[in-house]
Amino acid sequence: MNRDNVEGTLRSTTGQGEKMFGQAMNDKSTMAQGNYDDAMGKARSALGNAKDAVSDGVDAVSALDFSSLSNQIAKLTQTVSDLAQKQVSAGRDQVAGAMGAASDSLSQSAAIAQDKFAAVEGDVEARIKKNPWGAVAIAGLIGLLIGKMS
């Protein structure tokens, strides 16, 4: 109970007394003043009750344990961080695996191309040895075509 409650109750009681006195004396102005004081006292008392309610609400909020909430938020943050690190690690491993597979595939393709080039080189060398004038004619024809293009 605060000061507004006490003053409001006293003023309301005074107003009720003035109303009774005004009725007993048949004085309308005293009765009107009594009604006014009674209403103002009740309003002041209601204001005191509202202040008490707000004060109780503030006390209830301040009594909450925010440290527990803070701990829960810290745990949640750590969990999210751990999940993100795991996802990054898994993605990095997948990229490394794909790069290794691509490297192996490229190495195999290069080895196959090298083997084919060596086979073609051996075949061309054998044909040149077998028919050297045909090779000279083909080389001359290729040179002539290149000369015409430029």
Q: Are 11 and 37 in contact (CB under 8 A)?
A: yes
Checking if the pLDDT of 99 tops 90, the result is: yes
Host domain of residue 29: 1-64
According to the model, what pLDDT value does residue 35 have?
A: 84
According to the model, what pLDDT value does residue 15 have?
A: 84
Domain-located, residue 87? no
Q: Residue 26: left (phi > 0), alpha (psi -120 to 50), or beta?
A: left
Output the 3-class SS for 50-79.
HHHHHHHHHHHHHCCCHHHHHHHHHHHHHH
Helix and strand numbers (H, E) in the chain are: 4, 0
Domain-located, residue 51? yes
The distance from CA 53 to its chain's CA centroid, rounded to whole angstroms, is 37
Domain-located, residue 131? no
According to the model, what pLDDT value does residue 64 have?
A: 65
Exposed (0-12), middle (13-18) or buried (19+): which is 3, by Cβ within 10 Å? exposed
Q: Select the more confidently predicted residue: 98 or 62.
A: 98
Domain-located, residue 9? yes
When pLDDT is cut at 50, 70 and 90, the band that residue 60 belongs to is low
Mean of per-residue pLDDT scores for the chain: 86
When pLDDT is cut at 50, 70 and 90, the band that residue 61 belongs to is low
pTM of the predicted model, to two decimals?
0.40
pLDDT digits (tens, 9 = 90+) for 100-137: 999 999 999 999 999 999 999 999 888 889 989 988 99
Q: Are 35 and 15 in contact (CB under 8 A)?
A: yes
**Total of domains in the chain:** 1
Rounded Cα distance, 37 and 43, in Å: 10
pLDDT digits (tens, 9 = 90+) for 28-51: 888 888 888 888 888 888 888 888
Q: Are 48 and 3 in contact (CB under 8 A)?
A: yes
Domain-located, residue 59? yes
Domain-located, residue 94? no
Domain-located, residue 20? yes
Domain-located, residue 108? no
